[in-house]
Amino acid sequence: MNTSSQQAPRLSPVVAGMWRLAEWGPDAAGTVRWVEQALELGITSFDHADIYGGYRVEALFGEALAAAPGLRNRLQLITKCGIKLVHPARPATRVHSYDSSRAHITASVDASLQALRTDRIDLLLLHRPDLLMDPDEVADTFAQLRTAGKVLHFGVSNHTPGQLALLHRRFPLVTNQVELSPLHMQALADGTLEQCVDLGLRPMIWSPLARGELFTSGGDQAQRVRATLAELAARHGVSPATVAYAWILRHPSRPHPITGSHRLHALQEAVAATALTLGAEDWYAIWQASMGHEVP
Ligand SMILES: NC(=O)c1ccc[n+]([C@@H]2O[C@H](COP(=O)([O-])OP(=O)(O)OC[C@H]3O[C@@H](n4cnc5c(N)ncnc54)[C@H](OP(=O)(O)O)[C@@H]3O)[C@@H](O)[C@H]2O)c1
């Protein structure tokens, strides 16, 4: 059953993750250049969260949007809310916690709109499951934000299938943004991705290269996966990173991987994976390398 495709936002196949933007240290002009280059590669969707960079990343990106009129209409903005960090930028927060109340979501969206210097967010996600969530209140808040034109689409992140279903029954969600890589395969095993297939929601995938550990970790699992990626990369004439992205893209839920790199070459390696369809044996070879054993 595909209940949500009509409402789905048009995200690029590969999404650019902005988590580390503050560390990259560019000025507004440098960010404009970087975004333009990403757009040329076909990456038009940019993943934010209110908390990224200690509540600074959205504003840095917003400065770039303000410096380049017209840029906003060529890209999609994704952002998240619901995590409260103990941080000087939020002096009222005493405890690292989650908040999905109407007051918090509404205030967070208004702050994101102001920081990003835009009149609309294309996709808003609840960043983490709030154990105290009132799903009716969240659904009503989402409906109000959509009616006000402040947010066009809604989803969740890091939610279990049960948590997603609780909200989806009340308000149509378009994604669950979850972790998946050959080093972190829980979403393949706990029903998360099957639920996306069932509901017609395209998942977004964070840390597709396991924060770089796929290439830097000395652990046994990473070494096995690296050897398999290298073998497949040589066979297909692409880089190991491209094979890792192709492994994610091969899933029938049609995931959108989110890159985390500042390097344009790394973005190119991700986009190249959209032209590579792995055979099932190649896919399972990577699964086997990760698990350290064959399928039963
Ligand atoms: N919803 C959530 O809870 C959540 C959680 C985490 C992240 N996210 C989103 O997902 C995005 C991506 O996450 P991520 O940054 O962890 O993704 P990632 O692509 O798995 O990791 C990126 C890191 O890996 C490094 N890297 C990339 N290619 C490499 C290579 N060939 N060799 C060694 N290191 C390499 C990058 O360094 P270089 O810059 O030097 O390439 C960067 O530090 C974030 O920006 C954020 O938007 C969401």
**pLDDT tens-digit map of 33-54:** 999 999 999 999 999 999 999 9
Q: Whole-model pTM?
A: 0.97
pLDDT of residue 9: 86
Ligand 1 touching residue 157 (CB < 6 A): yes
How close is the Cα of 211 to the center of ligand 1, in Å? 4
From the list 148, 94, 159, the residue with the least C-alpha distance to 121 is 148
Per-residue pLDDT, averaged over 268-287, amounts to: 98
Per DSSP, the residues of 76-104 read EEEEEE-EE--BTTBTT--S-EE---HHH
| Secondary structure letter of residue 170 according to DSSP | T
Angle at 71 (CA atoms; ends 49, 152), nearest 5 degrees = 50
Phi, psi of 244 (to 5 degrees): -60, -40
The C-alpha atoms of residue 151 and residue 140 are separated, in whole angstroms, by 13
The C-alpha atoms of residue 134 and residue 146 are separated, in whole angstroms, by 19
Q: Is the pLDDT of residue 163 over 50?
A: yes
The C-alpha atoms of residue 39 and residue 214 are separated, in whole angstroms, by 26
Pocket probe mutation, ligand 1, options 19, 124, 178, 245, max atoms within 8 Å of Cβ: 19
Ligand 1 touching residue 210 (CB < 6 A): yes
The C-alpha R_g of the chain, in whole angstroms, comes to 19
Per-residue pLDDT, averaged over 235-246, amounts to: 98
Residue 83 has, within 13 A of its CA and on its CB side, a CA count of 18
Q: Whose CA is nearest to atom 39 of ligand 1?
A: 261
From the list 102, 104, 1, the residue with the least C-alpha distance to 50 is 104
Q: Terminus-to-terminus CA distance in the chain, angstroms?
A: 29
Rounded to the nearest angstrom, the gap between the alpha carbon of residue 290 and the centroid of all alpha carbons in its chain is 22
Ligand 1 touching residue 255 (CB < 6 A): no
Q: Is the pLDDT of residue 262 over 70?
A: yes
Q: Whose CA is nearest to atom 27 of ligand 1?
A: 212
How close is the Cα of 210 to the center of ligand 1, in Å? 7
Ligand 1 touching residue 207 (CB < 6 A): yes
Ligand 1 touching residue 268 (CB < 6 A): no
Alpha helices in the chain (DSSP H): 21-24, 28-40, 52-55, 57-67, 102-116, 135-147, 161-168, 186-189, 192-199, 213-216, 220-236, 240-249, 264-272, 280-291
Taking the CA of residue 181 as reference, the ligand 1 atom at the shortest distance is: 20
pLDDT of residue 96: 97
- pLDDT, tens digit (0-9, with 9 covering 90-100), for 192-203: 999 999 999 999
Q: Which residues are catalytic?
A: 52
Ligand 1 touching residue 245 (CB < 6 A): no
Q: Whose CA is nearest to atom 29 of ligand 1?
A: 212
Ligand 1 touching residue 177 (CB < 6 A): yes
The C-alpha atoms of residue 277 and residue 250 are separated, in whole angstroms, by 6
Q: Whose CA is nearest to atom 10 of ligand 1?
A: 206
Confidence band of 8 (pLDDT split at 50, 70, 90) = confident
From the list 177, 53, 161, the residue with the least C-alpha distance to 127 is 177
pLDDT of residue 235: 98
From the list 3, 75, 82, 80, the residue with the least C-alpha distance to 41 is 75
Q: Is the pLDDT of residue 218 over 70?
A: yes
Q: Whose CA is nearest to atom 9 of ligand 1?
A: 206
Confidence band of 173 (pLDDT split at 50, 70, 90) = very high
Confidence band of 5 (pLDDT split at 50, 70, 90) = very low
Coil, strand or helix at 63? helix
Ligand 1 touching residue 176 (CB < 6 A): no
From the list 26, 85, 90, the residue with the least C-alpha distance to 61 is 26
Q: Is the pLDDT of residue 2 over 70?
A: no
pLDDT of residue 227: 98
The C-alpha atoms of residue 286 and residue 22 are separated, in whole angstroms, by 33
pLDDT of residue 7: 67
How close is the Cα of 195 to the center of ligand 1, in Å? 25
pLDDT of residue 25: 83
Q: Whose CA is nearest to atom 37 of ligand 1?
A: 261
Q: Is the pLDDT of residue 63 over 70?
A: yes
- The encoded tokens of residue 96 equal 């690292």
Per-residue pLDDT, averaged over 1-15, amounts to: 70
Taking the CA of residue 177 as reference, the ligand 1 atom at the shortest distance is: 1
Q: What is the mean pLDDT of the chain?
A: 96
- pLDDT, tens digit (0-9, with 9 covering 90-100), for 90-119: 999 999 999 999 999 999 999 999 999 999
